[in-house]
Amino acid sequence: MRSQRLGTPKPIEELPLTLEDLPIPIPAATQIRLKVAYCGVCHTDLHIAQGDIHPPRLPVTLGHQVVGSVDAIGEAVQGLVVGQRVGVPWLHKACGVCDFCRAGRENLCEKATFTGFDVDGGFAEFMLAEASSVLAIPETIGSLEAAPLLCAGIVGFRSLHRAGLQPGERLGLFGFGASAHLAIQVARYWGCEVYVFTRSQNHRQHAEELGATWTGGAEDSPPHPLDRGVIFAPAGGLVPLALEKLRPGGTLAINAIHMDDLPSLPYRLVYGERTLTSVTNATHQDGVEFLKLAAEIPLRATVTVVPLENANQALADLKHSRVKGEAVLEIDPG
């Protein structure tokens, strides 16, 4: 099978991924093998490729927003059949017994492993996944459009909850890429006003097309204080800029696995019972609830289709904000 493999992390301009031919993997008892149709390209893939975050082993195949069909089933797997369409998210497996797992917060499990990081992911023609972690995709959502939902969508959904967003509130989104362009649709469905802060004129236009009330740069002042905010861009310098736009009692959530260090914060930015919180991965239940909501809205992902061979270019375009919505690798759509 063909796989885009990361051997040595380096700047994306130096083409860190190499297209290799590997044996088709064999599922263990609790696993399925997936024939991959599409795989979304995430900012986390870029961070791994460039060495900002370090996987426990190399080489590794990236990709954790995977849509495909079940190709083989381990002997202990129940409830899935060959040919069934499923999605594979970032969380590969958690221990299931720690306090976090037993509380339904397996996203915080210290022994959790992740797709395209601890184990090979979906930048390949075939991959393995834990059967208990895969997600059923609603019939009304196409496979291509489903790929961005499996990380960008799910973690954006969790970010809105972590920010405490209530229907009708004013929400600020800082950065407007794959995750934010889906989160705005959820917020608008809940009747919220959305204010988008981004340097990219193309991203501002995209936000306006999706119903943003106002767009501007992070240094600009919106016409009203924000009730909630979510930072999607991995830039620590955005934190004080975002906090100063919150009303007293507001909450700012940071949606980033990797981020630059936060600068010193004047106390006045958190005074008034403002809250600063982070978003760490997502739970399986987040995925179940979000995909149900995505079908109900219905949510529409904006995608740019890229051949598997051009994965390095897709990551470079992501790095330089040249992607509208999300880049999705087309592998074997069938």
Q: What does the alpha-carbon distance between residue 84 and residue 317 come to, in Å, rounded to a whole number? A: 32
Does 257 have pLDDT greater than 90? no
Maximum CA extent, the chain: 59
pLDDT given at position 41: 98
Instruction: Tell me the per-residue pLDDT of 88-119, one tens digit each, with 9 for 90 and over.
Output: 999 999 999 999 999 999 999 999 999 999 99
Q: What does the alpha-carbon distance between residue 258 and residue 102 come to, in Å, rounded to a whole number? A: 27
pLDDT given at position 334: 80
Does 256 have pLDDT greater than 90? no
Mean residue pLDDT across the chain: 97
pLDDT given at position 279: 97
| DSSP sequence for 97-139 | SSHHHHTT-GGG-TT-EEBTTTB--SSBSEEEEEGGG-EEPPT
CATH number for 2-150+282-288+299-330: choose from 3.20.20.70, 3.90.180.10, 3.30.70.1230, 3.40.718.10: 3.90.180.10
Per cent of the chain over pLDDT 90 is 98
pLDDT given at position 120: 98
Q: What is the side-by-side strand order in the sheet with 17-21?
A: 17-21, 2-6, 60-61
Does 123 have pLDDT greater than 90? yes
Delimit the domains of the chain by residue range. 2-150+282-288+299-330, 153-279
pLDDT band at 184 (very low <50, low <70, confident <90, very high): very high
**Two tokens at 304?**
């740019």
Q: How many CA atoms lie within 13 A of 293 on its CB side?
A: 21
Q: Could you check whether 2-150+282-288+299-330 and 153-279 share the same CATH topology?
A: no
Does domain 153-279 fall under CATH 2.10.109.10? My reply is no
Q: How many CA atoms lie within 13 A of 21 on its CB side?
A: 0
Does 223 have pLDDT greater than 90? yes
152 Cβ neighbours under 8 A, 6+ residues apart: 40, 42, 65, 177, 178, 179, 182, 326
Instruction: Tell me the per-residue pLDDT of 309-319, one tens digit each, with 9 for 90 and over.
Output: 999 999 999 99
